[in-house]
Structure 1
Amino acid sequence: MRVPLVGVGWDALSLVEQAADERPLIERRAVARDGFYELQARTVIERVPQTAGIAQQWAVSPYRGCAHACRGCGARAGHRRLGLDAGRDFDTRIVVKANAVARLRAELARWDGQELAVGLSGDCYQPAEETYRLMPGVIGALAEAAVPFTVYTKSALVVRDAELLARAGARVAVSIAFVDERIRRAVEPGAPGAQARLELVSALVEAGVECRVLMAPVLPLLSDATDQLTATVRRIAATGAGAVEPVVLRLPPGTRSWYLEWLAQAHPQLVERYEELYDRSGLPSADYEGRITGQIAQLCQMYGMRCGASAVERREPRAAQLALV
């Protein structure tokens, strides 16, 4: 009989256990059910990597891994700590934090009120959510604790919870980096098309949810031409979105190897330029990033939208800050 995981203290795994069983760590420590890995997480509030490019410093993710299979997803390295690879395994072997709601409530009881991002290590409304329905509980816990939060997603399933999100005063950031379907099929093969996401933004705005567009990731030399950026911002503006937050592609460890492997096959002439453009941590050059975000800011002004991350009103914390270990 398989023993379910009682925590995610990967570093605490004994050398004896490792030697006795050569299966990936997640297969030894989680319950496999209906194509998912179910585990009991010790903590669910995690620090956001500095390379992520978003405003929040802390995040909650009910799922790790993502069926959208976006080649540039910056969360891929997390699968390596589970004994899985950051490529195909990340796309197909989804980890479910089955106790996410209970753990979140416990941690929020000692949280200091900082805004949280929801859904960074895997889209929180990917197909796994249809099975596990963790998000209504996550939204409820955050609302009860009066903690501001932003949900990051590409999925229309978020509309199911539009009323809950509106009542909670949540923000939703829908990722639309480009509107060229040829690029989307190549780099986001499991995600909804751009038109579906544009319609999603309109639906959320109509439902009274504060909605912004995360224009991410802008792909160097693939989706960063002036006409491409203009077309994307123009179509976003037509949805009624309040703001655009641009983020140029990040290539942290794990993501870098997977993305460049694809790039070498699809666009081999660009590999050398990417190697020059990105530093060892996976960040693009400051000059390039400043130029692209500056162009998008000008386009947003032209089409009457705010650009960049906006400040969140800090709410009164319910209790002292949680000490995360």
Structure 2
Amino acid sequence: MLEVRTPEFRGITFYELRARSILNRVPGESRMPFRWTINPYRGCSHACVYCFARNTHTYLDLDSGADFDSKIVVKVNAAQLLAKELKAPSWTGESIAMGTNVDPYQRAEGRYRLMRGLLNVLIEHRNPFSILTKGTLILRDIDLLTRAAQHSSVHVAVSVGTVDRRVWRSSEPGTPSPQARLGVCRTLTDQGLGCSVLMAPILPFLSDSDEQLESTIAAIAAAGARSVTALPLHLRTGAREWYFQWLGKHHSTLVPQYKQLYARGAYVPAGYREQLQRRVERLARRYELVGTAGIRSGQESSSPSLKNPETNPKEIMLEKSMLQKSMSVQTTTCDKDHHEQLALIQ
């Protein structure tokens, strides 16, 4: 059974489904620093124009643009599935990464509280994990993070590409401010949990000036980050089309430069990346960010199966079938706060 909800979030529809699995295995040949992921949601209300995960919505016959931002799939049985899968004799207790595809602390989490359930299961099994987020809602779970860190390895990172508020408001319209995210970093650090910062993505010609880079790295250092890793924008199918549409609307004069920069594919040329790396590393030394990991190309995760580990064909077909059924039911999106409509699909 699938439930379609349009709760108190303006313009967002939630598709509640009972998934068949929750742990996703990352192929062994990848260079990613983790082998298992959990993504309790598909789609993301953060609505970041550059999001690499946009193409995953096309697996469900939804578009990678507005649908990705507003039609959110919620795996309501995520915690129950994790409890079952961690009890399997074959499970060896490897670290699990969360936030690798879409943000687990997006708006939906305030309603569904899936992360609290998942964290409680991880605590019970003393299983190590990591979380990457732009969401300040993670502070709601600081009690669970503290408990987990007493018995296993816990790594938290926040993503802050720039502290330029003009760029933030335009390119990440559904996210908390960069300053609020760095406040999360400060709080976690003060609580003894520690926090890293993923300075990503750095947008060519929009957030990569010397002044912008310095103000961002200075703010990251002031927040007490234990390390910073910078990542220039990469544009793959799904994200590329949506980003260029946004660019043409808000920064049309930059379109020719972007077409030239990304003419050979999804990634910036080596020359741009290397120059950016030198600038970031110089600033990181100035602000004593000794844990700096430098610039990553993004190609560490160039395979679609690595960036989008939830590619189990059976699971995708199940979700697709449920969503297709739901589209035949009359639903409306919210135009008023605290309005709710529920449709049950048998």
CA distance in 2, matches of 1:221, 1:198: 23
CA distance in 1, matches of 2:207, 2:32: 20
The yes-or-no answer on 1:75 pairing with 2:59 is no
**1:301 matched residue in structure 2:** 285
Change (3 A) 1:146 1:186: same
Change (3 A) 1:146 1:298: farther
- The letter for the 2-side match of 1:189 is P
CA distance in 2, matches of 1:270, 1:139: 43
**1:249 matched residue in structure 2:** 233
Please, which of 120, 123, 128 is the counterpart of residue 100 of structure 2? 120
Unaligned runs of 5+ in 2: 7-12, 295-311, 314-346
CA distance in 1, matches of 2:124, 2:264: 41
Identity rate, percent: 44
Q: CA deviation at 1:293?
A: 2.9
Residue by residue over 1:102-147, the C-alpha shift from the partner in whole angstroms, topping out at 9 and shown as x without a partner, is 2223333333444322123321111211111111121122333443
Residues 63 and 119, structure 1, Cα contact 8 Å, conserved in 2: no
Q: Which protein, 1 or 2, shows the higher relative CO under an 8 Å CA cutoff with sep ≥ 6?
A: 2
The yes-or-no answer on 1:141 pairing with 2:121 is yes
CA distance in 1, matches of 2:185, 2:234: 24
The yes-or-no answer on 1:190 pairing with 2:174 is yes
RMSD: 2.4
**2:74 matched residue in structure 1:** 96
The yes-or-no answer on 1:177 pairing with 2:161 is yes
CA distance in 2, matches of 1:240, 1:150: 18
Q: CA deviation at 1:245?
A: 1.4
**1:289 matched residue in structure 2:** 273
CA distance in 2, matches of 1:100, 1:296: 38
- The letter for the 2-side match of 1:106 is K
**1:315 matched residue in structure 2:** none
SS state of the match for residue 223, structure 2? coil
Bigger shift: 78-87 or 268-277?
Answer: 268-277
Q: CA deviation at 1:57?
A: 4.5
Change (3 A) 1:234 1:44: same
TM-score, structure 2 as length reference = 0.75
- The letter for the 2-side match of 1:274 is Y
Residues 210 and 242, structure 1, Cα contact 8 Å, conserved in 2: yes
CA distance in 2, matches of 1:277, 1:105: 46
- The letter for the 2-side match of 1:159 is L
- The letter for the 2-side match of 1:218 is I
CA distance in 2, matches of 1:192, 1:144: 31
CA distance in 2, matches of 1:168, 1:290: 38
Detail structure 1 runs of 4+ shifted over 6 Å in the superposition: none
TM-score, structure 1 as length reference = 0.80
CA distance in 1, matches of 2:263, 2:128: 33
Residues 253 and 281, structure 1, Cα contact 8 Å, conserved in 2: no
Please, which of 77, 84, 89 is the counterpart of residue 106 of structure 1? 84
Change (3 A) 1:284 1:308: same
**2:138 matched residue in structure 1:** 158
Q: CA deviation at 1:249?
A: 1.2
Unaligned runs of 5+ in 1: 5-29, 310-323
Q: CA deviation at 1:240?
A: 0.9
**2:111 matched residue in structure 1:** 131
Q: CA deviation at 1:279?
A: 6.0
Q: CA deviation at 1:256?
A: 0.7
Query: Which residues of 2 match residues 261-300 of structure 1 at below 5 A?
Result: 261-278=245-262, 282-300=266-284
Change (3 A) 1:276 1:57: farther
CA distance in 2, matches of 1:160, 1:168: 14
Q: CA deviation at 1:189?
A: 0.8
